Structure 1
Amino acid sequence: MKGVGVLKMKRATYRHVEAEIYAYYDTLKAIEELRKDIILAGGQDELGAVVGGGYASSKVERRATKLADSILLREMERITRAIADVYTKTKEEVRHAIWVKYGLAIDWQPPEELVAKMKGRNRFDMSVREMADMIPVAESTFYAYRTGFVYGVAERLGWY
């Protein structure tokens, strides 16, 4: 066994955490929409359901839907909270790499020079070398920053 005591995260887990980081802002929007839906659905219990209008036709179905929505809401909040918590503990230079790679900036603004360098660039089409040059750091340092952040989020979520 290579590296006794060192567990390597499964590739699928790593990719899943990265997808959650990329989707951070979309998830925040979805949380707000889901909260609104749950609040509005709460009023349906007293008023009766609209059959065929997207609402469940019985009280049991409405309660089950509300429960499923609240479970989803809690998980989405847990994930975004984990990302934000790990992010707030990162150093300035790591935030540069996270912003270049994922477009993530929580209560932080990337330096104007970095924004100017990224203007017109698509982070999904950039190589690690190009991203590292933006900051500027060595490729290995860029990898370390990125991997450290992803592992930190995964650990905070209990996925690693």
Structure 2
Amino acid sequence: MTTAIKKATFKHVEAELFQYHETKREILKRREEILHAPRGRDENIGGGRSSEPGRPTERIATRLLSDVRLRSLEEVVDAIETSFEQLPEHYQEVIKLKYWSGKSYTWAQIADKAYVHPNTATKMRKEIVYLVAAKLGWG
């Protein structure tokens, strides 16, 4: 396990875990906005070349790659997915129950459903959050 992270970082990572499915939807929405955005006006009045590529495919690719918000959302989703895939199945079950079920289970209820001791469930929580934080470079 990595070194301790700040309490605010821990809470932020947990918030990202809770919002994982919403973040994936937001990524799709943002991509659609970029793909279907009207071409901006050419404000290059004095001549010379525009800084944006002239071909539509290149222009869209450039926008997709340079959109800071999109890249940030994708980074969070990638960190969560990579962490989830490398965790054992019983850890994945804890993530599904606590963060993705849409229900407000207590840690005691999660421990019961995952067939682990409540202390083990909270240790798993900490390990999950630390792993995601490390993948994001936040811890």
TM-score by length of 1: 0.67
Q: Hey, what does 1:89 align to over in structure 2?
A: 86
| Residue 40 of structure 2 is aligned to residue 45 of structure 1 | yes
| Residue 19 of structure 2 is aligned to residue 23 of structure 1 | yes
1:1-160 alignment runs, 5 A limit: 7-41=3-37, 43-45=38-40, 70-103=67-100, 123-124=103-104, 126-160=105-139
The one-character-per-residue Cα deviations of 1:124-143 (angstroms, maximum 9, x if unpaired) are 2x321121111111011111
Task: Report the aligned-residue RMSD.
Answer: 2.4
The one-character-per-residue Cα deviations of 1:104-129 (angstroms, maximum 9, x if unpaired) are 7xxxxxxxxxxxxxxxxx632x3211
Distance 2:110 2:135 in 1: 26
The one-character-per-residue Cα deviations of 1:28-76 (angstroms, maximum 9, x if unpaired) are 11111111111222x33269xxxxxxxxxxxxxxxxxx69x81000000
Q: Hey, what does 1:110 align to over in structure 2?
A: none
User: Which 4+ runs in 1 deviate beyond 6 A?
Assistant: none
Shift of 1:11: 1.0
List runs of 5+ in structure 1 lacking aligned partners: 1-5, 48-65, 105-121
Query: For this pair of structures, how many residues does the alignment match?
Result: 118
Which structure has the higher relative contact order (CA within 8 Å, separation 6+)? Answer: 2
List runs of 5+ in structure 2 lacking aligned partners: 43-62
Secondary structure of 2:36's counterpart equals helix
Distance 2:39 2:21 in 1: 29
